[in-house]
Copies of this chain bind each other. A is one copy, B any other.
Amino acid sequence: MKLIRNPNQIQDLSLKLKSKGKRIGLVPTMGYLHAGHLSLVRRAVKECDVAVVSIYVNPLQFGPREDFKRYPRNLKQDMLLAKTAGADYVFAPGDTDMYRGEFLTTVGVDKISSILCGTSRPGHFTGVTTVVTKLFNIVLPDISYFGQKDAQQAVIIKKMVRDLNVPVAIKVLPTVREPDGLAMSSRNAYLNRSQRQDALILYKALGRARCLIRQGERNPRKIISVIKRLIQRVDSARIDYIDIVDAADLSSKKKITGKVLVVLAVFIGKFRLIDNIALRV
């Protein structure tokens, strides 16, 4: 496995690979890899001739008061993990390699970027779609892999790809969870022992929603109200949002039908965690 830091270098390599008919798989990450990322890497290895993991903590997707500076980083460990999962290349540009000089261009997706996580993180998804466009242009993947944990991100990227005719297939793989149910996230590293315990409430709340829906409840407000009370019982928890939305366009459901997502974001102490489940009714 090889580490490449320079965008032009990997773009040249990718152009060469593509001109020889090789299929490239890309797993875009912000590093501090966990089993969720690695499930994506293994899939890329399986389905493509060349598997690339990009590692870049993208400043553009963090708000001014967010955790850009303290976001966990460990390139050495990431390299080991990516290699073990079978990756051919790690593309890890330096902080200044991606936005040189006066950067003026943005790729934005209207409407679905300003709801849910977009409400408390304005500009976040425009940062994501802009950097993902850059990564696609640099690595030129045939397939790119994303995790279902970031459900809204996946829907937005799929919409961008469709709207702009981006020649990349988007595959979204299931959320990987800790044995106790907590969704894998690099940000879990922030949690102390009691917060780690409290963080389980996200999974428990989603489980309760699943139960209620399976038992026949079709009124989203009733379900949201139940899991809201459940979460509020945890002292360190503060709800950012809970919603039940259409899995395709993220619009709030008035009645639970078709393919839906139960989505939530909850602060545990000062750390904001997200999780979701998909259900077909």
User: Residues of A at under 8 Å CB distance from B?
Assistant: 7, 11, 15, 18-21, 103-112, 129-130, 133-134, 137-138, 140, 159-160, 163-167
Q: Beyond A19-B21, A20-B21, A21-B20, is A167–B105 a contact (Cβ under 8 Å)?
A: no
Assess whether B109 is in contact with A167, with CB atoms less than 8 Å apart: no
Assess whether A108 is in contact with B106, with CB atoms less than 8 Å apart: yes
Nearest chain B CB to A203 CB, angstrom units: 31
Assess whether A107 is in contact with B105, with CB atoms less than 8 Å apart: yes
Assess whether B163 is in contact with A104, with CB atoms less than 8 Å apart: yes
Assess whether B107 is in contact with A107, with CB atoms less than 8 Å apart: yes
A interface secondary structure, majority: mixed
Report the separation of the CA atoms of residues A106 and B140 in the bound assembly, to the nearest whole angstrom.
20
Among B111, B112, B159, B164, the residue within 8 A (CB) of A107 is B164
Among B108, B112, B137, the residue within 8 A (CB) of A165 is B137
- By a CB distance below 8 angstroms, the chain B residues around A104 are 109-112, 159, 163
Assess whether B105 is in contact with A164, with CB atoms less than 8 Å apart: yes
Assess whether A137 is in contact with B167, with CB atoms less than 8 Å apart: yes
Nearest B-chain residue to A130, judged by Cβ:
B164
Nearest B-chain residue to A131, judged by Cβ:
B164
Report the separation of the CA atoms of residues A160 and B107 in the bound assembly, to the nearest whole angstrom.
10
- By a CB distance below 8 angstroms, the chain B residues around A137 are 164-167
Name 14 extra pairs, CB < 8 A, besides A104-B111, A105-B163, A105-B164: A7-B165, A18-B18, A19-B20, A19-B21, A104-B159, A105-B109, A105-B110, A105-B159, A107-B107, A107-B164, A130-B164, A134-B165, A137-B164, A137-B166
Nearest B-chain residue to A168, judged by Cβ:
B137
Report the separation of the CA atoms of residues A7 and B107 in the bound assembly, to the nearest whole angstrom.
21
- By a CB distance below 8 angstroms, the chain B residues around A108 are 105-106, 108
Q: Beyond A104-B112, A105-B159, is A164–B21 a contact (Cβ under 8 Å)?
A: no
Nearest B-chain residue to A107, judged by Cβ:
B107
- By a CB distance below 8 angstroms, the chain B residues around A103 are 163
Nearest chain B CB to A133 CB, angstrom units: 6
Nearest chain B CB to A164 CB, angstrom units: 6
